[in-house]
């Protein structure tokens, strides 16, 4: 329930009893709380005790006169509204009283309605003053809150353990916290204000920040990332997002920096461990595989049947493990930079022909058509390690065969471009859902669905392709539509 507004308190100071009592009757009916005084001194006494809002003050009184009372009231509290009561003959005095700070006046004798009008006017004025005061207090509080909030956010940003930097649309740093400076090895007093490239000597990082700042990548839901090495051998991971203002306008970029040096060391140790274990397992597994093949081959017809089935399954499984180990060793070599060590001119058209010939048997066993389309003029050679090139296209063509239904089509096309060669491997197979596309180049990532469930694989083929192409300075991109097929396009730079 809403509280009723507090009653206005009115003090009537008049030496005439009739005026005091008559006024009290009218004012009480108007909902006012009324106090009465027959003399000025008595009125001032009440004022010192009660929170009076309005004083109805007779100017002509015995003892202390109205003007004196008015001046005392005003010197005590300017907010009290004084309405002076004047006789016909004392209009000048009324004007004088107004000059001294009286709010209004009413002439004697007055009708009840006249009193109601002046009191109502005074009450409106009080209400307005109170509303204004309330609004001012509210505004002051909001500003104080804002100020507190701002300094709180500032303190939080300053003490964040991750490096945080903000740029404007020109890529100038407008804010950086102490961790940001520390991560980049900057002076603790280094001020923002310069372009990002003045603080970080790394082209990839600076390009990323510039692109996000200029609004090239407007998707604020996904952070763009880049890893880079500082001269002090520290590895940093940067994540950047656009700062979007009203109407989705890009206002700049927010960048966060995390030190990932320890993760990198762990990663290297893990790779070394995997390489070592894989190496140790490869020989015994190959021996088991060969022995199983011999046993199966030498089985007599009597022994064949259930036993042969079990041994064949065991042989298949060891073959799977040998492939996995081979892939893991390839990845370790790529990570250690031990691949592409002997670059020489490679005739891609010849190499593609021999790969297609070799893998063609697999496609034929699935009644698939595997075509190779080469330009009529011989392609210029690329300088690269032939084993690496063989691995790239071997993986991509094998994938196309695996992930295309029986009777499907696979087409390999090679063309010469301005600074390199383009090789596309397209199929009309199962295709890949868009949500998986950015993950299929991650290690062990395999798309599992009704179509691919029974296809064995390691999830390491595409990471090997990507790793090798990174080493060669090339790239791979994929277009795919579920149910229609996929196209993997490889770019190989001429220089290798
Ligand atoms: P693997 O083939 O051993 O599973 P890859 O790294 O070579 O591992 O491929 C990762 C995943 O990408 C596969 O599991 C498959 O789901 C998908 N994929 C790769 N190539 C194709 C293709 N041509 N068509 C459809 N899906 C593909």
pLDDT band at 3 (very low <50, low <70, confident <90, very high): very low
Q: Are residues 9 and 65 in the same domain?
A: yes
* Residues lining ligand 1, Cβ inside 6 A: 395, 399-400, 403, 427, 429-432, 440, 445-447, 452, 457-462, 486
Q: Tell me the CATH number at 354.
A: 3.30.565.10
Q: Ligand 1, closest atom to CA 431?
A: 25
281 CA to centre of ligand 1 in angstroms: 25
Does residue 146 belong to any structural domain of this protein? no
**Domain limit, last residue, from 236, 259, 282:** 259
Closest C-alpha residue for ligand 1 atom 20: 399
Domain that holds residue 327: 264-335
Q: Are residues 377 and 315 in the same domain?
A: no
Q: Are residues 358 and 303 in the same domain?
A: no
The answer to whether residues 232 and 281 belong to one domain is no
Q: How confident is the model at residue 89 (pLDDT cuts 50, 70, 90)?
A: low
- Asked if residue 143 is part of any domain, the answer here is no
Q: What's the 446 CA to ligand 1 centre distance in angstroms?
A: 6
Asked whether residue 430 falls in the same domain as residue 390, the answer is: yes
- Burial (CB count within 10 angstroms: exposed 0-12, middle 13-18, buried 19+), residue 352: buried
What CATH number is attached to the domain comprising 128?
A: 3.40.50.2300
30-50 pLDDT, tens digit per residue, is 999 999 999 999 999 999 999
- Ligand 1 pocket test target in 462, 467, 485 with most atoms within 8 Å of CB: 462
Q: Cα(399) to centroid of ligand 1, in Å?
A: 6
CA 445 to chain centre: 26
Residue 299 included in any domain: yes
In a domain, 155, yes or no: no
Pair 430, 296 in one domain: no
Distance 431 CA to ligand 1 centre (A): 9
Atom of ligand 1 nearest to the CA of 460: 6
145 occurs within a structural domain:
no
Which residue has the CA at smallest separation from atom 8 of ligand 1? Answer: 459
Query: 255 and 270 share a domain?
Result: no
| 454 CA → ligand 1 middle, Å | 13
CATH number for position 325: 1.10.287
Q: What is the mean pLDDT of residues 486-495?
A: 91
Mutate to test the pocket of ligand 1, among 368, 426, 433, 440 (most ligand atoms within 8 A of CB): 440
Q: Give the Å distances, CA to CA, from 64 to 58, 102, 256, 350, 472.
A: 11, 17, 77, 123, 106
Q: Is residue 328 part of a domain?
A: yes
Q: What is the gyration radius of the CA atoms in the chain, in angstroms? A: 45
Residue 150 domain-assigned?
Answer: no
Residue bearing the bigger pLDDT, 312 or 495: 312
Is 305 contained in some domain? yes
Name the residue of 398, 403, 449, 485 whose CB sits within 8 Å of the most ligand 1 atoms, as the mutation to test its pocket.
Answer: 403
437 class by beta-carbon count within 10 Å (0-12 exposed, 13-18 middle, 19+ buried): middle
Q: How far apart are CA 196 and CA 186, in angstroms?
A: 12
Same domain membership, residue 301 and residue 251: no
Flag whether pLDDT at 373 surpasses 60: yes
397 shares a domain with 352: yes
Considering the domain architecture, whether residues 232 and 298 belong to the same structural domain is answered as no
What band does 7 get if pLDDT is binned at 50, 70 and 90? confident
pLDDT tens figures, 180-229: 999 999 999 999 999 999 999 999 999 999 999 998 866 666 788 999 99
Q: Which of 20-24, 273-277, 346-350, 365-369 has the lowest mean pLDDT?
A: 273-277
Q: 350 with 313, same domain?
A: no
Can you read off the two tokens belonging to residue 378? 């011989």
Verify that 98 and 115 share a domain, yes or no.
yes
- Kindly state the average pLDDT of the residues 357-373: 95
Specify the number of domains making up the chain.
4
| Distance in Å, CA 455 to ligand 1 centroid | 10
pLDDT in tens, 255-300: 999 999 999 888 888 888 888 888 888 889 999 999 999 988 888 7
What gap in Å lies between CA 196 and CA 205, rounded to an integer?
9
For the full predicted model, state whether its pTM sits above 0.75.
no
Mean pLDDT over 466-490 rounds to 94
Residue 454: the pLDDT is: 86
**pLDDT tens-place string over residues 45-71:** 999 999 999 999 998 888 898 899 999
Distance 61 CA to ligand 1 centre (A): 106
- CA of 412 from ligand 1 middle (Å) equals 17
CA distance 328 to 335: 10
């Amino acid at each position: 329930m809403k509280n009723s507004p507090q009653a206005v308190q009115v003090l009537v100071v008049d030496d005439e009893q009739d005026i005091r009592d008559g006024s009290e009757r009218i004012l009480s009916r108007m909902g006012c709380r009324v106090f009465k005084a027959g003399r000025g001194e008595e009125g001032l006494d009440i004022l010192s005790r009660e929170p009076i809002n309005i004083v109805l003050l007779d100017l002509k009184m015995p003892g202390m006169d109205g003007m004196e009372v008015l001046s005392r009231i005003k010197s005590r509290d300017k907010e009290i509204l004084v309405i002076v009561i004047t006789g016909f003959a004392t209009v000048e005095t009324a004007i004088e009283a107004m000059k001294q700070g009286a709010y209004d006046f009413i002439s004697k004798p007055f009708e009840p309605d006249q009193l109601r009008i002046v009191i109502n006017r005074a009450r409106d004025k009080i209400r307005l003053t109170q509303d204004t005061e309330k609004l001012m207090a509210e505004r002051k509080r909001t500003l104080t809150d804002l100020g507190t909030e701002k300094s709180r956010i500032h303190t939080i940003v300053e003490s964040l353990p991750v490096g945080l930097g903000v740029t404007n649309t020109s890529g100038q740093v407008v804010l950086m916290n102490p961790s940001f400076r520390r991560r980049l090895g900057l002076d603790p007093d280094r001020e923002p204000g310069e372009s990002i490239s003045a603080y970080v000597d790394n082209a990839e990082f600076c390009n990323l920040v510039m692109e996000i700042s200029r609004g090239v990548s407007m998707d604020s839901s996904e952070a763009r990332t880049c890893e880079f090495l500082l001269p002090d051998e520290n590895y940093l991971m940067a994540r950047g997002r656009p700062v979007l203002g009203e109407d989705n306008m890009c206002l700049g970029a927010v960048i966060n920096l995390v030190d990932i040096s320890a993760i990198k060391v762990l990663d290297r140790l893990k790779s070394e461990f995997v390489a070592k274990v894989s190496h140790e397992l490869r020989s015994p597994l190959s021996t088991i595989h060969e022995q199983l093949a011999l046993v199966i081959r030498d089985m007599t017809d009597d022994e064949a049947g259930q036993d042969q089935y079990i041994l064949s399954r065991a042989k298949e499984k060891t073959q799977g493990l040998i492939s996995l180990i081979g892939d893991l060793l390839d990845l370790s070599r790529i990570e250690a930079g031990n691949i592409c060590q002997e670059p020489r001119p490679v005739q891609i058209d010849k190499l593609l022909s021999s790969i297609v010939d070799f893998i063609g048997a697999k496609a034929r066993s699935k009644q698939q058509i595997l075509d190779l389309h080469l330009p009529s003029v011989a392609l210029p050679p690329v300088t690269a390690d032939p084993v690496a090139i063989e691995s790239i296209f071997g993986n991509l063509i094998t994938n196309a065969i695996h992930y295309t239904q029986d009777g499907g089509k696979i087409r390999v096309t090679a063309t010469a471009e301005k600074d390199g060669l383009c090789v596309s491997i397209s199929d009309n197979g199962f295709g890949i859902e868009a949500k998986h596309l950015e993950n299929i180049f991650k290690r062990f990532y395999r798309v599992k669905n009704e179509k691919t469930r029974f296809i064995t694989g390691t999830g390491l083929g595409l990471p090997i392709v990507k790793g090798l192409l990174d080493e060669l300075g090339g790239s791979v991109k994929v277009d795919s539509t579920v149910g229609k097929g996929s196209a993997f396009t490889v770019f190989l730079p001429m220089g290798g």
